[in-house]
Structure 1
Amino acid sequence: MTDHWTETVDLNGNPFFVQHWGRKDAPKILMLHGFPEYSGAFADLAPLLGERFHCIAPDQRGYGQSWRPADVEQYKTALLVSDMAALIGDEPVILLGHDWGASVAYALAIGRPELVSKLIILNGVHPAPFQRELAKGGPQTDASQYIHFLRRDGSEDILAANDFAKLMSLFSAHMDMDWLQGDTLAAYKAAWRDASGLRGMVNWYRASPLKLGHSGEAIDDALVFDPARLQVRCPHLLVWGMADTALMPASTEGLEDYAPDLTRVTIEDADHWLMHQKPREVADAILNWL
């Protein structure tokens, strides 16, 4: 059995809930969850890595039992990064991110490279290739139309209604959700709590500068990124569940331009929720690479 413990820590003056798996004296892997998850997203994966590593998974700002400011301005990327930089401290860590957690992980690897020794991304996207695909009006634009809904005022009330019925349907769009039931589902609903609990989570979308048009609509005023300024200089592993319907594989095309030391691993029979569906395969990909 891998050791597991939890704590609440102060980061930049605010309380954050953190889960730990593994050995305190082992090399650290900081694991960043996405939407609409929480630190428990890694409950299947972290024990498999915890035999060799100290896995650290916080509820990020706006999520679970951590600090949940209501103001959209409190969810700008620089602030999300500052939380995790404070959690890391002075010694660099192996950094793992999924979904929105990947956005924070990329921002840390790019902007605070001294804090990240290696970068692992599970079905998450670097901002530059992702914005390129969002602007095209093609498959990624179509797949991301839910962002318009989430950015609307009051979307959290709709998501929370009828015991989170809308949130559950958004979560499971054309993907395998067999893992989300029983105690796991109950723990997720406890982390979501209610509409005010969802507001912080949804604010990540409202605060994001990413632009997209409507379905089939290309836009020409999208953010343009300079590859020279968005380099991931540490070794980088991308593990991709090929059946993902939220993030298209095209959104990772050209990633080598931004991450010259990139290794790609694909998992055919998994989708966006790969660390729940195939935790052993994901863990083996990570352990073999490390």
Structure 2
Amino acid sequence: MHPDIQTWQQALPHGITLSCRASGEPGRPVLMFLHGFPEGAWVWDPLLLHFSRPENGGYRCVAPNLRGFERSSAPEDVKAYRAKHLVQDIVALIDSECSACQHSQPLAALIAHDWGGAVAWSLANQHPQRIGQLVIINSPHPGPFLRALQHDAAQQAASAYMNFLVQPEAAAQLAAHDFERLFGFLTGQDTSLPSLTSPTADNRAHWLTPAVKATYREVWQHGLQGGLNYYRASPLRPATAADPGASAVQIPPEALRIEVPTLVLWAQDDVALLPCLTEGLDAHVPALTLVPIEKATHWVVHEQPARVIQEIAAFLQPMGDRSVQ
């Protein structure tokens, strides 16, 4: 682990503990990073190190492992992974981190990918006063996502992998043979499991080095069921004969509104979350900056970290200028 990355177990008032990683001085404006499945807080390390440097804003950069992942609390009850509980965790962590902020401001920005983005969308809707800016990376806003799952055949097919991940045997199958199928999920090499990597993007899996694989393996050895419970707890998945999924869902308009200034980065070769999921997004997010990233897949944070950092830095710059005065 990098010497400038601190790790600790953060006990929250409601009985959940999150294992956290951070870089930067406590008391500085806070950037918080939320990961997705099947990842962990460690995937943000390059961004934690970058944005904590004085010349890049000098932020306090914090990345929790969400509940169910790595050494964070992993309740067995699937209902414990509903959005309201996940949001409660991050609100409590924000309050803990920002209580020491010298500038008496909310979280400077919440930056999130995949399932972390689902939590971030909900938090920004319900607690806009707690965050200054929002950055979403390939994580669909619930409005366009619900519409696509109900009416878009291409997105329904692209999301079919979710119906495997909710099965009782999914964790055991993904872990078998040294996580062979789960690594296939990352690279597209296992054609028996729907992949999040485009078949035309084989050369982009260069990021999955032996060291990166070892880190993934270490995280997964703590258990996969917590992460899979996110899929089981949410109805936003394609309908099947046995499960109505998204076809039975209605979301009130007020639950879709995002008033926080928002940057959405969307890798255009994500074969599970198609570019159509950004269509009509400005109807729900008035202060929207949408940046498509070509020749990148769902794993764009691994594939193009410099580009991701560049776009986030440009978006944060006005707030960054204020924060270092």
Q: If the TM-score is normalised by the length of the shorter chain, which range does it land in?
A: over 0.9
Paired residue for 2:7?
Answer: 6
Q: Matched residues in 1 for 2:113 and 2:162: separation?
A: 17
Contact 1:241–1:272, Cα closer than 8 Å, also in 2: yes
Contact 1:97–1:122, Cα closer than 8 Å, also in 2: yes
1:153 Cα deviation from its structure 2 partner:
1.2
Q: Matched residues in 2 for 1:221 and 1:63: separation?
A: 29
Contact 1:227–1:257, Cα closer than 8 Å, also in 2: no
Q: Matched residues in 1 for 2:266 and 2:166: separation?
A: 27
TM-score (norm 1): 0.93
Contact 1:137–1:213, Cα closer than 8 Å, also in 2: no
Q: Deviations over 1:211-270 (max 9, x none)?
A: 41359xx99834232333321101000011111111101012111011000001122122
Contact 1:213–1:219, Cα closer than 8 Å, also in 2: yes
Contact 2:235–2:246, Cα closer than 8 Å, also in 1: no
The yes-or-no answer on 1:35 pairing with 2:37 is yes
Paired residue for 2:19?
Answer: 17
Alignment of 1:56-71 (within 5 A): 56-71=62-77
Contact 1:48–1:280, Cα closer than 8 Å, also in 2: no
Paired residue for 2:60?
Answer: 54
Q: Give the secondary structure class of the aligned counterpart of 1:49.
A: helix
TM-score (norm 2): 0.83
The yes-or-no answer on 1:155 pairing with 2:170 is yes
Contact 1:62–1:69, Cα closer than 8 Å, also in 2: yes
Alignment of 1:200-219 (within 5 A): 200-213=226-239
Structure 2 vs 1, CA of residues 235 and 50 (structure 1 numbering), >3 Å: closer, same or farther?
A: same
Paired residue for 2:106?
Answer: 92
Structure 2 vs 1, CA of residues 211 and 275 (structure 1 numbering), >3 Å: closer, same or farther?
A: closer
Contact 2:106–2:130, Cα closer than 8 Å, also in 1: yes
Runs ≥4 residues deviating over 6 A: none
The yes-or-no answer on 1:114 pairing with 2:129 is yes
Paired residue for 2:182?
Answer: 167
Q: Give the secondary structure class of the aligned counterpart of 1:178.
A: helix
Contact 1:9–1:15, Cα closer than 8 Å, also in 2: yes
RMSD between aligned residues: 2.0
1:14 Cα deviation from its structure 2 partner:
2.4
Structure with greater Cα Rg: 2
Q: What residue identity is the alignment partner of 1:75? A: Y
Q: Tell me the matched-pair count.
A: 286
Q: Give the secondary structure class of the aligned counterpart of 1:43.
A: helix
Contact 1:46–1:55, Cα closer than 8 Å, also in 2: yes
Paired residue for 1:288?
Answer: 314
The yes-or-no answer on 1:189 pairing with 2:217 is yes
Structure 2: gaps spanning 5 or more residues:
100-104, 188-194, 317-325
Q: Percent identity?
A: 36
Contact 1:141–1:214, Cα closer than 8 Å, also in 2: no
1:177 Cα deviation from its structure 2 partner:
2.4
Structure 2 vs 1, CA of residues 134 and 5 (structure 1 numbering), >3 Å: closer, same or farther?
A: same
The yes-or-no answer on 1:145 pairing with 2:153 is no
Contact 1:33–1:100, Cα closer than 8 Å, also in 2: yes
Q: Give the secondary structure class of the aligned counterpart of 2:224.
A: helix
1:261 to 287, 302, 313: 287
Structure 2 vs 1, CA of residues 204 and 117 (structure 1 numbering), >3 Å: closer, same or farther?
A: same
1:199 Cα deviation from its structure 2 partner:
0.6
Structure 2 vs 1, CA of residues 220 and 268 (structure 1 numbering), >3 Å: closer, same or farther?
A: closer
1:136 to 151, 163, 173: 151
Structure 2 vs 1, CA of residues 276 and 45 (structure 1 numbering), >3 Å: closer, same or farther?
A: farther
Contact 1:20–1:57, Cα closer than 8 Å, also in 2: yes
1:188 Cα deviation from its structure 2 partner:
0.9
Q: Matched residues in 2 for 1:236 and 1:58: separation?
A: 21
